[in-house]
A and B are shown apart, each in its own frame.
Chain A
Amino acid sequence: ETGVTQSPTHLIKTRGQQVTLRCSSQSGHNTVSWYQQALGQGPQFIFQYYREEENGRGNFPPRFSGLQFPNYSSELNVNALELDDSALYLCASSLDQYNEQFFGPGTRLTVL
């Protein structure tokens, strides 16, 4: 157990809808990173938040957005869902932007 929690565990949405995924970082960690993992592939970096500021972004469109709260928990929002957004969404927390990243259990999103 890493102490990183994510909710919900599973989610089913239809194309065009919006979704919010949540992550609570490990105690003492101020950095949260989000990844998308499609079946059979390695995780792909979406973005990172460090002390409530976006600290880097991968090759994802603007409909993927996020924020980090003062307690360092974080949200990932995806608008206008597409079928290809179906994936495992992983949140990772770290002591700071330089340190090892520890993953939560993930949220399995299915877009129909």
Chain B
Amino acid sequence: QKEVEQNSGPLSVPEGAIASLNCTYSDRVSQSFFWYRQYSGKSPELIMSIYSNGDKEDGRFTAQLNKASQYVSLLIRDSQPSDSATYLCAATRRDGDYKLSFGAGTTVTVRA
């Protein structure tokens, strides 16, 4: 079983719609969770961090964490063509094992 799994995608949404991305993790000791955006041919860019259960909003992005269900999600509201990218979910333990464990990513295309 992979440590972090993401819905496979690709995900295509019309401009202005909500894009919903999901991620599950297998290691119950995971403490911190991150969403990175990666444009084609570029490196990952950190867009959200979340550490406690509940919702965290930053502009058009909302991250949700449910540690009991081992589930993390990212909502992109009012999707724009510039949001077209691969979104990577990552988790880390912070207990002496500091690596980021990544999912394979979900590719989002926003149709104008």
Is A55 close to B, CB under 8 A? yes
Task: Enumerate chain B residues within 8 angstroms of A40, measured Cβ to Cβ.
Answer: 104
In the complex, chain A residues whose CB is within 8 Å of the CB of B45: 2, 103
Among A11-19, A78-86, A94-102, the stretch that binds chain B is A94-102
A104 within 8 A of B: yes
Q: Flag B89-112 by CB within 8 Å of A: 1 or 0 each.
A: 010001011111111110000000
- Residue ID in chain B nearest A107 by CB atoms: B43
Which residues on the B side are within 8 Å of A88 (C-beta)? 43
Give min CB distance, B63 to chain A, whole Å. 13
Q: Are B43 and A90 in contact (CB under 8 A)?
A: yes
Are B102 and A43 in contact (CB-based, < 8 A)?
yes
Q: Are A45 and B43 in contact (CB under 8 A)?
A: no
Q: How far is the CA of A24 from the CA of B42 in the complex (A)?
A: 18
A58 sits at the interface (CB 8 A): yes
What is the minimal beta-carbon distance from B7 to any residue of chain A, in angstroms? 14
| B43 lies within 8 A of A104 (CB) | yes
Q: Is the CB of B104 within 8 A of A56?
A: no
Please, how many angstroms separate the alpha-carbon atoms of A88 and B102 in the complex?
15
Decide if A100 touches B34 in the complex (CB within 8 Å): yes
A73 at the interface (CB under 8 A from B): no
Contact B105 A56 (CB under 8 A): no
User: Is B44 close to A, CB under 8 A?
Assistant: yes
Least CB distance, B75 to chain A, in whole angstroms = 20
Residues in chain B within 8 A of chain A (CB atoms): 4, 34, 36, 42-46, 49, 88, 90, 94, 96-105
Binding site for B on A (CB under 8 A): 2, 31, 33, 35, 40-45, 48, 50, 55-56, 58, 88, 90, 92, 97-98, 100-106
Question: 14 A-B residue contacts at CB 8 Å?
Answer: A2-B45, A40-B104, A42-B88, A42-B103, A42-B105, A43-B102, A45-B100, A56-B99, A90-B43, A102-B46, A103-B45, A104-B43, A105-B42, A106-B43
